[in-house]
Structure 1
């Protein structure tokens, strides 16, 4: 067991309207000072605007590195006042953990909850609308400061101030940052795709997508021989 960090803030909430077009979103979450209950689908009472791409057991909770907001504020100065913990829709905010030292499949205990890192967050256009910044989601993706999702292995309760303890690490190869390096590469090494797809704990949807891409590149390579 390794104590990595402490939870600084916890966020959850209902649906709101996203300007200027009025889409429903769960991005505008409220800070919770007390204990929250976490079940298989996440924090009880937390909601998502588009359940096709948000929420569910493989995206039960989203954690974002609090230190990343400084980089965002420097890059998007006109939105700096809005770029504070919780504003990207994360559930857990903490310093210390980040995309460089969190790996796919890592198992953590926070409070009485046991969580496993299942995949990175894929930033979408709603970030641009939220901050009136046309290229912010692209910046988040290119800089690989996306945060990550957990699945819930053991339901329980957590709150701000709880220790974040790493219980297990299943892969030394694939941090969240390394995941994106492989995934975003124009022509990734096929063996890297295969190894990433086979990483214990990776969400099934990403296993499928990475495996299909590896097979496609294998066929492309074979046809050019």
Structure 2
């Protein structure tokens, strides 16, 4: 890309510590809003992960959710108490969602540069957090699940910062399309699967699932 594109502005920054949660497990899904944050190679300073197998690490350093997910959940589950920030995300930026974000995209937010690596897989902790079964499955069915970044350049973010798209090398690799074929176990189009396997930014566990479709 030769031009930079404004994608939105920071609406929410969050950090949290791992605390006792449900099923005798700990979780950092409960996060607190901050006005500014220092970003390291492993994510937001002060943010913790209770389960390092499924969360965190350099390829899952920052989790972003689209703000529209809250309206979708409220419409589908009107009795559920929900507000922005309850789904364990670190970041919400206006006007961004899975339709407009691609694997491999590089963004600048504040002085930080990040690259999209994979969607989030919603789990049972969302249902426990909202005290209502079926919400995580609803998010999965809607394809409104959020995504992870790896950090290319450390720095700082603050509320209101612009989110600028710096690079988009794979414009066909939208998160929406990836989620569709990832969850369609019968999808075995070799040419399209191979196009995902050669995307260097896509996190390995998603590649592993798609690679098995070719066997």
1:50 counterpart residue number: 51
1:14 counterpart residue number: 17
**In structure 1, distance between residues paired with 2:6 and 2:200:** 22
Structure 1 residue 40, shift from structure 2 partner? 0.8
Deviations, residues 131-154 of structure 1 (Å, cap 9, x unaligned): 112111111111100010000000
Structure 1 residue 16, shift from structure 2 partner? 2.1
1:134 counterpart residue number: 133
> In the alignment, is residue 26 of structure 1 matched against residue 28 of structure 2?
yes
- Structure 1 length normalisation: TM-score? 0.90
**In structure 1, distance between residues paired with 2:149 and 2:28:** 17
CA contact (8 A) 1:128 1:136 kept: yes
**In structure 1, distance between residues paired with 2:180 and 2:20:** 34
- Runs of 4 or more, structure 1, over 3 Å off, are none
CA contact (8 A) 2:182 2:206 kept: no
Structure 1 residue 99, shift from structure 2 partner? 0.5
2:210 counterpart residue number: 210
1:94 counterpart residue number: 93
Root mean square deviation of aligned Cα: 1.2
1:192 counterpart residue number: 192
Structure 1 residue 186, shift from structure 2 partner? 2.9
**In structure 1, distance between residues paired with 2:209 and 2:58:** 18
1:66 counterpart residue number: 67
Deviations, residues 153-209 of structure 1 (Å, cap 9, x unaligned): 001110111000000001111111110111111311232222122223111332233
1:3 counterpart residue number: 6
**In structure 2, distance between residues paired with 1:44 and 1:193:** 36
**In structure 2, distance between residues paired with 1:85 and 1:95:** 12
- Which residues of 2 match residues 140-155 of structure 1 at below 5 A? 140-155=139-154
Structure 1 residue 214, shift from structure 2 partner? 2.7
**In structure 2, distance between residues paired with 1:62 and 1:51:** 14
Equivalent pairs, count = 211
More helix by share: 1
Structure having the higher Rg: 1
